[in-house]
Structure 1
């Protein structure tokens, strides 16, 4: 587990200069959650819109975590709607997984959401990503519902009250 005393790190709020870095990790992020995904121009255009349009006009918020050498550790994107937030994306670079950074990123997201007045958080987790489901459950998210993805795979709607 990582503590702030053990690591020098830096949080950066999303800006367009980080978009290429975020796009670089989308194929890996989506491959963890979907069996059939086309990583075509339309896919990347949608992701660009989430970050560019969403952060400017749809009350979306994003932050990236970097180490002391300015190497990306991970990032998140969420959308706020009144007192509820929806975690659209959360990603930890593979070499940093299992070392406490996911917990650090999730806590940063939740603290930011609470700062903006959110009292609850929702997210979707693919049934094929058991590591993510277990991670969110250890962090007090519970499964509210099961839905079916376009590729026929189930995904879970997960919820947490932000205290």
Structure 2
């Protein structure tokens, strides 16, 4: 349950001015999911490309959630393709974790997906991030496949039917 009234939260669609804020959190986000990630200039260029080029030309969308005091709660990025959406990233600021904000953000993402006529959603969750895997399972996602990103650290390809 979110302790702060929803009226004290607001959603903002991605704009280039938010990119530095998003990039600031990428090391933490990826450290939760990969042991051997290299956080070099190429890494940040790839993430920047997802947001700038993806949103401009590849049916990608991003939303950021802020408190009324302009404190970032979290953000997500997803791609829409015909009748599916792929959740590329979802991040909840550490001080807001385990308080219902992640579920609130996931519901927002799923609603936005439905508005684009998506009937299903896909995502990847790293096995090393058991908190994320459990979160998605508890929210109706099922594991379809297991892929290897790093030796001994698979990631799960997960699916949810949004038509229920």
Equivalent-residue separation in structure 2 for 1:104 and 1:146 (angstroms): 27
Instruction: Give the TM-score normalised by structure 1.
Output: 0.97
Unaligned runs of 5+ in 2: none
Contact 2:124 2:157 in 1 (8 A): yes
Instruction: Give the TM-score normalised by structure 2.
Output: 0.96
Q: Corresponding residue for 2:91?
A: 91
- Deviation of residue 6 (structure 1)? 5.9
Equivalent-residue separation in structure 2 for 1:4 and 1:93 (angstroms): 15
Unaligned runs of 5+ in 1: none
Secondary structure at 1:90 match in 2: strand
- Which 4+ residue blocks in structure 1 deviate beyond 6 angstroms? none
Equivalent-residue separation in structure 2 for 1:151 and 1:53 (angstroms): 31
Q: Aligned in 2, Cα 1:3/1:82: closer, same or farther, shift over 3 Å?
A: farther
Q: Corresponding residue for 1:136?
A: 136
Equivalent-residue separation in structure 2 for 1:58 and 1:152 (angstroms): 32
Secondary structure at 1:149 match in 2: strand
1:38 aligns with 2:26: no
